[in-house]
A = this chain, B = another copy of it.
Amino acid sequence: MYSFKNDYSEGAHPKILNALLETNLVQDEGYGEDRYSRKAIELIKRKIGSNDVDIHFISGGTQTNLIAISAFLRPHEAAIAVSSGHILGHETGAIEATGHKILSVEGRDGKLTPTDIQGVLDGHPDEHMVKPKLVYISNSTEIGSIYTKHELQTLHDFCQNNQLILYMDGARLGSALCSEENDLQLSDLPELVDAFYIGGTKNGALIGEALVISTDSLKEDFRYHIKQKGALLAKGRLMGIQFLELFRDNLFFDLATHANKMAGLLREELSNSQINFLTHSPSNQLFPILPNSLIAELQNKYSFHIWEKVDSDTSAIRLVTSWATKEEEVVGFIEELKMVLRGISV
């Protein structure tokens, strides 16, 4: 049974494990003040092309989101997210547990537009309601779409004009930036968003996301927040060493490129088989719509999520590829699918 369930089914890229091995017995400071973490931060700053950012390593996505959002907002302020946003429905109310409401809007293709946000602002005029303050977006989104540079620039300008904080969840930022449809650079981000994170867990690391804060007023005392939420790892080096390896050369991008390539293979072959998709996804998550009987057959050999019912006969499934996805398994999956399809059509 091969899994296309997610991009965190394996351990870490071997180069990362190797780096852990090589540095294992070196003594160093705890709590992220070790040489590896410091060096990794310098490296990422260079890749980003800015020294005016603060970077912190945090173990996972929900952890990063809740620490950042609760640190950035005052008690009466709220976040705005598209209805498919991860913080809304898949983080067990982590943001609300820190005291903040999330205002949901429909959006389009899993993305937010200034019009969406303006609607929220219009509906929240006074102190009887929360004050919308932070705009949460994901890139790539939860349904595989990505933001163009123009879309992000437009959002940024709107947020600036309305004193809103723009925050990007980059759990799958690698896949977004390496997508063939992408026109954003990592170095564009500090100017376009107030804070974002570079996802390690879903792109080859064991754990770890690199939170990048570019707006000065959001930087102050940030390590207090990490510690208070229980996320300042004693052996912070575990994340520093991994990010050092991911950004020493081009590994972070190479891994995402591989994931995208595997998704591209699937996308192309599914399209060739006249299969429609629930969403337009140029990244490493695909949502093909398949007959339920076909899904049942595929489940004998492959594991994946059934995303949602489309009609009485068909459902969308989610196929996720990663740095670890094997090309032969992709090929095998397609062959199996084609074979079953032929059987059904006969």
Interface assignment of A238: CB less than 8 Å from any CB of chain B: yes
What is the bound-complex CA distance between A71 and B73, given in angstroms?
A: 11
A324 touches B90 (CB 8 A): no
CB distance from A125 to the nearest CB of B (A): 12
A230 touches B128 (CB 8 A): no
Contacts of A238 in B (CB 8 A): 11, 206-207
A92 touches B25 (CB 8 A): no
A8 touches B235 (CB 8 A): yes
Interface assignment of A191: CB less than 8 Å from any CB of chain B: no
Contacts of A63 in B (CB 8 A): 229-231
- Binary per-residue interface labels of chain A (14-35) against chain B in the complex, 1 for a CB within 8 Å, 0 otherwise: 1001001101111111110000
Interface assignment of A111: CB less than 8 Å from any CB of chain B: no
CB distance from A194 to the nearest CB of B (A): 17
Contacts of A235 in B (CB 8 A): 8, 11, 201, 206-207
**Contact size class for A?**
35 or more
Given contacts A17-B20, A59-B59, A60-B233, are A94 and B10 in contact (CB under 8 A)? no
Interface assignment of A225: CB less than 8 Å from any CB of chain B: yes
In the complex, residue of chain B having the shortest beta-carbon distance to the beta carbon of A90: B128
A97 touches B99 (CB 8 A): yes
Instruction: From A74-82, A148-156, A265-273, give the one contacting chain B.
Output: A74-82
What is the bound-complex CA distance between A233 and B3, given in angstroms?
A: 19
Interface assignment of A159: CB less than 8 Å from any CB of chain B: no
What is the bound-complex CA distance between A228 and B70, given in angstroms?
A: 13
Listed in ascending order, the chain A residues whose CB lies under 8 Å from chain B are 2-3, 5-6, 8-12, 14, 17, 20-21, 23-31, 59-67, 70-71, 74-76, 78, 89-94, 96-101, 123, 127-131, 201-202, 206-207, 221, 223-235, 237-238, 324
